[in-house]
Amino acid sequence: MNLEDSTALQFDTPYMVIDFNQSLKNMKKVQSFADQHGKTLRPHSKTHKIPLFSKRQISLGAVGVCVQKVSEAEVMFDGGVEDILISNEVVTGIKTDRIADLASRGCRIKVAVDSEVGMSSLNESAREVGKEIDVIIDVDLGMDRCGILPDDFPGFLKKSSGYSNLTVYGIMAYDGNVADESRSERSRKVASEVETLTKLCKDYERINGEPQTVSVGATSTYDLWAEYDIITELQPGTYVYYDRRTTEYGASTMDEIAMGVVGTVMSKTHSNHAVIDAGYKSTSIDNGRYPILIMPSGDTAPVTSMSEEHTVCSDANQLKIGDRVLLLPSHACTTTDQWDKAAIFGLNEKPGTIEIKGRGMRE
């Protein structure tokens, strides 16, 4: 992320800023990795939430996108993205009707499922509009979030084939929990997940024939999964911007981070202490982690506390009131969700702003 370009923009602070050229490099890096390993890439759009970015990822070779919410799927489809996997569970009739509506409008919509309640509702909504909807069975390989437990998989798969308007097309497993700073530890955990998944693929083949798609992976694990033949699709998301966290576990360098928040030093009442006009309403502190603060010199300074509107930095001798600084968030996705629009440079000839159309899409 280019500090000079980010802080030179003539916007009032705080503002979120995107380095589009860097983001494009990140997109190309992961796409060519997936291509080299013979896997399709279905990037998660929850990081950028911008249809234009998804369309760029698709034009580089991605097969479609993941979204987490029905409302995000609607934003993406209205923005011109046609192949969308809701990689999350949907159970209410209002939402499954909206999914069926997307299918009627020509969207190649797919949905992750882990319950009969969800499948019945989706089946009913699809039947009402005379459509068949593709579903992928979400399994829990250890994240302890959504997903069918491995022991229950064969029974669930058998039941899932009984819905007239649903077509089961594969298995999905998300493992964002595997984010250890040691790559060998992540590799060991993925190898153990592969063992379980291989067994589930055999169950699938016995009951339903070969799965068309086996979709897995996060920014912390996609490169490890790519080594295994049973995997067909990778679904990382954060790589489009990277962040402090991905840098800590070695998936990116600091230079590859493509989004941040620019703030101004607004108070400096004693020598070592500076306060920035952007707090956690501007920069997510998911898991209690503070952003990296970059000063005009390019050096970093420690963040010691944050509140809604303030970031406090100790050891800030170099800073003076009015200086612009760049905050590189610990989590890019949750930071993006705090902004209706972002400053962007590298997209057009002149820096401008871009609307974050999927921001705040909760249902």
Ligand X SMILES: Cc1ncc(COP(=O)(O)O)c(C=O)c1O
Q: How far is the CB of 118 from ligand X (least distance, A)?
A: 15
DSSP state of 240: G
The whole-angstrom separation of Cα 239 and Cα 361 is 21
Q: Choose between 211 and 236: whose C-beta lies nearer to ligand X.
A: 236
Q: How far is the CB of 174 from ligand X (least distance, A)?
A: 4
Tell me the Ramachandran region of residue 360: left when phi exceeds 0, alpha when psi lies from -120 to 50, beta otherwise: left
Task: Provide the residue count of the chain.
Answer: 363
Whichever of 103 and 216 has its CB closer to ligand X, that residue is 216
3-state secondary structure of 55: helix
We find the least distance from the C-beta atom of residue 283 to ligand X, in angstroms, to be: 17
Q: Which is nearer to ligand X, 42 or 98 (CB)?
A: 42
- Relative to beta strand 292-294, strand 300-301 is antiparallel
As a whole number of angstroms, the distance between CA 22 and CA 197 comes to 34
Q: What are phi and psi for residue 62, nearest 5 degrees?
A: -65, 150
Residue 200 or 301 having the CB closest to ligand X: 200
Q: Which two tokens stand for residue 114?
A: 């882990």
Task: Please give the residue ranges that form the binding site for ligand X (CB under 6 A).
Answer: 44, 46-47, 66, 87, 174, 176, 218-219, 235-238
Q: Among residues 101 and 140, whose Cβ is nearest to ligand X?
A: 140
In this structure, the number of other CB atoms found within 10 A of the CB of residue 238 comes to: 24
**Minimum separation from the CB atom of position 280 to ligand X (A):** 20
Question: Which of 146, 207 has the CB closer to ligand X?
Answer: 146
We find the least distance from the C-beta atom of residue 18 to ligand X, in angstroms, to be 16
d(CA 3, CA 324): 10
Question: What contacts 24+ positions apart, CB below 8 Å, involve 100-103?
Answer: 100/125, 100/126, 100/128, 100/129, 100/131, 100/133, 101/129, 102/73, 102/74, 102/77, 103/129, 103/131, 103/133
123 vs 235 by CB, closer to ligand X: 235
The minimum distance between CB 323 and ligand X, in angstroms, equals 32
Min dist. Cβ of residue 129 to ligand X (A)? 26
